[in-house]
Structure 1
C-alpha cells in the first residue's frame, strides 16, 4: 500500500515537472518569482483562485522536506522513511506548479505581472 502511494506521488511529481517545463509555458524562474506576487494577491483578496491556508500547507510541506527532523526517520525505517519525504515533495511540487499556472494565467487575463505596469491612454501620431 505504501509503495503504491509512493509511486503515485512520484508520478504526480513527474506530471508537475512536465507541466512546469512544457514548451511555451512559464519557466521555472517565472514561476518562482510569481510566488511572492501570488501570496500578496491572495492576502489582499484580489486573487481568489487559492487560499492562504493552502499556500501555508505548501510552505509547511517544503519546510518538512528540507528539515532534518523527520516523522519517519530514514535511519530507522529505511525506504519507508524516504517515502514520506517523496510523498510530501510530490504534493508540494504538484500543488505549487498548478497554483502558479492558474495564477500566471489570471495575471495575464488581468493585464498584470512583470513588465505590465499601468499604461497611459494616448493616441498614436503618425
Structure 2
C-alpha cells in the first residue's frame, strides 16, 4: 500500500472511531483479547485465522530487530516499520469495532444477580 493509501486508511479509522454510536477506542482495545479468543475458538465467524496470523506477523515485524529495510537508511528504514504499524492499527481498530458490534448483537442479555442493586 502506498504512503498516501496508508494515511487515508488511518484517517478513515480515526473517523470510524470518532463516529457517534460507533464503539470508542477504549471499547475496541478492550475487545482485542476477546476477539482473538473468538477467532481462535471459531466462535467469531467474521475474521479468519489467516488475517489474525497476518496481524501477528505485523507485530513480530515491528518488534523484530531484523528488517527488510534497515533503520540505518534513516527515514526509509523507519517508514517501512511505520507503514506496518499503520496497517496493523487500522486493521485492529476496524476488526475490533466490528467485533464489538457483533458481540452486542449476539451476546445473550446478562441477567442481574439476585440481591444486587439491579435485582431489587
Question: Same fold per TM (> 0.5)?
Answer: yes
Q: How many residues align?
A: 112
1:72 shift after superposition: 0.5
Using the alignment, how far apart are the partners of 2:82 and 2:89 within structure 1?
Answer: 10
Change (3 A) 1:41 1:98: same
1:108 shift after superposition: 0.9
1:123 alignment partner in structure 2: none
1:35 alignment partner in structure 2: 32
Query: Where in structure 1 are there 5+ consecutive unaligned residues?
Result: 121-126
Superposed structure 1 runs of 4+ greater than 6 Å apart: none
Normalising by structure 1, we get a TM-score of: 0.75
Using the alignment, how far apart are the partners of 1:92 and 1:73 within structure 2?
Answer: 20
Using the alignment, how far apart are the partners of 2:63 and 2:10 within structure 1?
Answer: 17
Using the alignment, how far apart are the partners of 1:74 and 1:45 within structure 2?
Answer: 38
1:22 to 2:29 alignment: no
Query: Where in structure 2 are there 5+ consecutive unaligned residues?
Result: 113-120
Normalising by structure 2, we get a TM-score of: 0.78
Equivalent of 1:111, from 107, 114, 119?
107
1:57 alignment partner in structure 2: 54
* Two-structure CA RMSD over aligned residues (Å): 2.1
State whether residues 69 and 77 of structure 2, in contact with CA within 8 Å, keep that contact through their aligned partners in structure 1. Answer: yes
Using the alignment, how far apart are the partners of 1:17 and 1:70 within structure 2?
Answer: 28
